[in-house]
A = this chain, B = another copy of it.
Amino acid sequence: MSTSTTGSEIKGETVTAAKEQTTAGVDKASVTELLERGRTMSTPVLRAAVDRLAPPMDTVAAYHFGWIDAQGNPSAGDGGKAVRPALALLSAEVAGAGPETGIPGAVAVELVHNFSLLHDDLMDGDEQRRHRDTVWKVHGAAQAILVGDALFALANEILLEQGTAEAGRATRRLTTATRKLIDGQAQDISFEHRETVTVQECLEMEGNKTGALLACSASIGAVLGGACEADADALEEYGYHLGLSFQAIDDLLGIWGDPAATGKVPWSDLKQRKKSLPVVAALAAGGKASKKLGKLLAADAKAADSADRNDIESFDEEEFATRAALIEAAGGREWTSQEARRQYATAIAALDKVDMRDEVRRKLVGLADFVVVREK
């Protein structure tokens, strides 16, 4: 089995160890094909759905998805990695249906995902997403709220208008996932104002914020294809742990990622004082670096509070570098990297609970590989 992604690195840190646990990989070209298939098959339906929105929401949404620029001219923007649609189509194949059966599910999860991006960017004050100004920056807060709401509603509409019992079951799972996603964002925000967050709390938050929707993506096509509840649950388990692995990598990239690749500002997560996995793991580790980091972050929190703001943008780059180095010295970087591998292994193991064609299983493993070994 060829695995051509060997050597991929996260800013100098080889994460290829994860690959060793792959029992049945697919080559990089196949993953690219899977992602491309997800995009190609779902985007026309997604665009038609977005076209239903009343102006100017249709335009604002088109900007968010990268189909037009801020001036309204067509653009071939980077619409994101599109892991979710790829998973949704694959998931239909698990149930023995054609990938097209998963399309309404692919569109629905993309809509929910983008609803959450629109609202989270506004709540977090993030000005950049996918190398472009965020919607609230370009079109204002009201449009970011409104278009987010509209995408959320559209997601349910697209599924329910299928009018089948399967679509009803799929909508129920999507709704549960969306509620968890919102719980996760609430936890994420509250963590920024708390002095201490345990590793367990952080994992729970990330499970809600990232795991739940990936779980739904990985099962929704199967549900639409008539899979039994047990199979759908096992696929959710795969997606959930894949999501946690994905998020662990994201947390590494949020501190040590290359801004040119991620499209985020440098030290993005540190600037927002996010208590992400590397941070909470470092703080929990004990030892000299851990204690020094704890003191520094507590002082940062105090300074930010007294200035009545959540970020600490006035710091220069060197001060963030100091914090990043302490997180690494305390072992937060290594622990998070290992956690990504552990979650990856749990995800792959869940696939054994479902009877599926080898080819489909290989593709699900291949997508998981892609998620764990990435630079953006």
B-binding residues in A (CB < 8 A): 52-57, 115, 119, 122-123, 141-142, 145-146, 148-150, 152-154, 156-157, 160-161, 163, 165, 167-168, 171-172, 175-176, 178-179, 182-183, 185-187, 189-190, 208
Query: In the assembled complex, how far is the CB of residue A1 from the closest CB belonging to chain B, in whole angstroms?
Result: 41
C-alpha spacing A175/B168, complex, angstroms: 13
Query: In the assembled complex, how far is the CB of residue A31 from the closest CB belonging to chain B, in whole angstroms?
Result: 32
Number of copies of this protein chain within its complex = 2
**Contacts A56-B190, A141-B123, A171-B160 given; does A146 touch B185 at CB 8 Å:** yes
Which residues on B sit within 8 Å (CB–CB) of A141?
122-123, 141
B56, B150, B168, B189: the one within 8 Å of A142 (CB): B189
**Contacts A156-B156, A156-B171, A165-B165 given; does A190 touch B55 at CB 8 Å:** yes
Q: Do B175 and A160 touch (CB < 8 A)? A: yes
Which residues on B sit within 8 Å (CB–CB) of A57?
182-183, 186
Which residues on B sit within 8 Å (CB–CB) of A179?
52, 150, 153-154, 157
Which residues on B sit within 8 Å (CB–CB) of A172?
157, 160-161, 163
C-alpha spacing A54/B209, complex, angstroms: 12
Q: Which of A52, A57, A186 has the most CB of B within 10 A?
A: A186
Query: In the assembled complex, how far is the CB of residue A368 from the closest CB belonging to chain B, in whole angstroms?
Result: 27
A183: nearest residue on chain B (CB-CB)? B54
A310: nearest residue on chain B (CB-CB)? B142
A158: nearest residue on chain B (CB-CB)? B175
C-alpha spacing A250/B344, complex, angstroms: 55
Q: Do A156 and B175 touch (CB < 8 A)? A: yes
C-alpha spacing A331/B115, complex, angstroms: 43
C-alpha spacing A235/B186, complex, angstroms: 38
Query: In the assembled complex, how far is the CB of residue A182 from the closest CB belonging to chain B, in whole angstroms?
Result: 5
Q: Do B160 and A145 touch (CB < 8 A)? A: no
C-alpha spacing A260/B106, complex, angstroms: 50
* 10 extra A-B contacts, CB within 8 A, seeds A123-B141, A146-B182, A157-B179: A54-B187, A57-B186, A146-B185, A146-B186, A148-B149, A149-B152, A157-B175, A165-B165, A165-B168, A167-B168
Which residues on B sit within 8 Å (CB–CB) of A149?
115, 119, 148-149, 152, 182
Query: In the assembled complex, how far is the CB of residue A58 from the closest CB belonging to chain B, in whole angstroms?
Result: 10
C-alpha spacing A149/B183, complex, angstroms: 10
Q: Do A56 and B186 touch (CB < 8 A)? A: yes
Q: Do B190 and A150 touch (CB < 8 A)? A: no
What are 13 sample pairs from A and B whose C-beta atoms fall under 8 A apart?
A52-B179, A54-B183, A54-B186, A54-B187, A57-B183, A122-B141, A145-B145, A148-B149, A149-B182, A157-B179, A160-B172, A168-B168, A168-B171
Query: In the assembled complex, how far is the CB of residue A26 from the closest CB belonging to chain B, in whole angstroms?
Result: 35
Which residues on B sit within 8 Å (CB–CB) of A189?
142, 146
